[in-house]
Amino acid sequence: MAIVKKTYRDQIVDYVYQLLLSGELGPGDQLKENLLAEQMGISRAPIREAMQELILNGLVDYRPQVGNFIPILTAKQIVDGYTTRGVLEGYAIMETRYQFSREEVEKLETLTLQMEKNAANREHKMVVDLGGEFHDLLISKSDNLQLLEYTNRLSLKLHILFYKHWSRLYSSGEIGQRHRDIVEGLKSGVPDRIETVVRRHYAETGSKIAELQRQKPVRS
């Protein structure tokens, strides 16, 4: 079994991600380096490194002379993020559609069933974690490093948005069907069908979350 060694930077990114998932940090909140260093019992040097990664991934905004803040995303930014992820993932799967083994397709089907069951039980984090595993497997065949880099940058941000809102957007049956549609698209081997179903998968969620964003007041 491979041993994954996490640097301080990785641990800090994970820590902030968990604070965002739990709601302890929300849009507009300031993220103070000295407080993070105190909470984690480490120096501020790796905190600064992690901040650069969080900023690059769109989870943190840096305001000169003010500090680091959790961004307040506009409806357009949400739609753009989901649309872009759909384009990238759809292309990646279409290009590598013949590289998936029968066992890997069966794994995708198993993950879909598990997601549906977890959604029915309102197990929010499991739905998001399994969804991440599902989509990671779908793009795992691509050797386009730029595509993978841009896709990974979007992943955490979209996971957080989906975690917060999915139960208001889809029933457990819809969660399952949306992912079965992708698996069936992959199994078809038809390029246009694959790209269309993946783009629609992301675009639909992006537009639904954006509509929720439009309906709530902006924090000052």
Neighbours of 197 (CB within 10 A): 21
Three-class secondary structure of residue 35 per DSSP = helix
pLDDT average, residue stretch 125-150? 95
Mean pLDDT of the chain: 91
Task: Please write the tens of the pLDDT for every residue from 52-89.
Answer: 999 988 899 999 989 999 999 999 999 999 999 999 99
pLDDT number for residue 181 = 98
User: Is the confidence at residue 156, as pLDDT, over 70?
Assistant: yes
Dihedral, CA of residue 190, residue 196, residue 201 and residue 206, to nearest 10: 160
Q: Which of 37-46, 71-80, 211-220 has the lowest mean pLDDT?
A: 211-220
User: Is the confidence at residue 22, as pLDDT, over 90?
Assistant: no
Neighbours of 88 (CB within 10 A): 22
pLDDT average, residue stretch 6-27? 88
pLDDT number for residue 219 = 47
pLDDT number for residue 5 = 52
Which pLDDT band, with edges at 50, 70 and 90, does 138 fall under? very high
Neighbours of 93 (CB within 10 A): 24
Tokens read off for 142:
């691509």
Closest residue by Cα to residue 25 from 68, 87, 80, 82: 68
pLDDT average, residue stretch 108-133? 95
- Asked if residue 21 lies in contact with residue 163, where contact means CB atoms within 8 angstroms, the answer is yes
Using a 10 angstrom Cβ sphere, with 0-12 exposed, 13-18 middle and 19 or more buried, the burial of residue 3 is: exposed
Which pLDDT band, with edges at 50, 70 and 90, does 169 fall under? very high
User: Is the confidence at residue 119, as pLDDT, over 90?
Assistant: yes
pLDDT number for residue 1 = 38
- Biggest alpha carbon–alpha carbon distance for the chain: 55
Task: Please write the tens of the pLDDT for every residue from 181-194.
Answer: 999 999 999 999 99
Q: What are the boundaries of each domain within the chain?
A: 8-69, 75-215
What is the CATH code of the structural domain delimited by 75-215? 1.20.120.530
Closest residue by Cα to residue 195 from 182, 180, 208: 182
Return the beta strands (E) in 11-130 as ranges. Answer: 30-31, 61-63, 67-69
- Its CATH class, for the domain covering 8-69, is mainly alpha
